[in-house]
C-alpha cells in the first residue's frame, strides 16, 4: 500500500456518496460543455417541442456525462480534489468557494 493511501483521511458516507458525486457532476458538465451547449441551444430553438426535437442532443449529452460518472479514475481524481479542499478548510477555516473569490483591494 503506498503512503498516499495510508495518510488519506477517513471520508464519511455523505462525502463518498453525496459530496464527491456532486463534484463529479459539476466537473462532468464542464468536460461535456460542448454537448451541454448543443442541448441548451436545441431546447431554446425547439421551445415546447424540445422533448421530441432534441432527443439526439440529449442522448449524446447523457452518454458523455454517464461515461464520466462511471469512470473510477474520474471518481478518484474528484475524491483527491475533495480531500485536498477538506484538508485546506480544516487548516484555514475558509471554504473552497470563498478561497477562490478575489479579495477586495480596499474596504
> pLDDT tens across 71-94, in order?
999 999 999 999 999 999 888 888
Percent of the residues in the chain that have a pLDDT greater than 90, as a whole number: 64
Let me know: does 58 contact 39? Beta carbons within 8 Å: yes
pLDDT at 34 over 80: yes
The parent domain of residue 48 ranges over 12-95
The answer to the question of residue 105 being in a domain is: no
- pTM of the prediction? 0.74
The answer to the question of residue 104 being in a domain is: no
The answer to the question of residue 38 being in a domain is: yes
Q: How many domains does the chain have?
A: 1
Question: pLDDT value at position 73?
Answer: 97
Question: pLDDT value at position 82?
Answer: 95
The answer to the question of residue 5 being in a domain is: no
Q: What is the mean pLDDT of residues 30-56?
A: 93
Over the stretch 1-24, which tens digit does the pLDDT of each residue have? 444 455 778 899 999 999 999 999
The answer to the question of residue 102 being in a domain is: no
Q: How many CB atoms lie within 10 A of CB 82?
A: 19
Question: pLDDT value at position 101?
Answer: 55
The answer to the question of residue 44 being in a domain is: yes
The answer to the question of residue 84 being in a domain is: yes
Let me know: does 87 contact 11? Beta carbons within 8 Å: no
The answer to the question of residue 90 being in a domain is: yes
Question: pLDDT value at position 93?
Answer: 84
Amino acid at each position: 500500500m503506498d503512503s498516499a493511501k495510508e495518510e488519506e483521511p477517513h471520508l464519511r458516507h455523505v462525502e463518498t456518496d453525496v459530496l464527491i458525486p456532486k463534484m463529479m457532476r459539476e466537473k462532468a458538465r464542464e468536460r461535456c460543455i460542448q454537448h451541454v451547449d448543443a442541448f441548451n441551444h436545441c431546447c431554446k430553438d425547439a421551445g415546447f417541442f424540445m422533448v421530441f426535437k432534441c432527443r439526439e442532443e440529449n442522448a449524446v449529452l447523457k452518454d458523455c456525462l454517464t461515461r464520466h460518472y462511471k469512470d473510477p479514475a474520474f471518481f478518484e481524481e474528484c475524491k483527491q480534489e475533495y480531500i485536498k479542499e477538506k484538508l485546506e478548510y480544516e487548516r484555514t477555516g475558509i471554504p473552497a468557494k470563498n478561497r477562490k473569490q478575489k479579495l477586495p483591494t480596499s474596504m
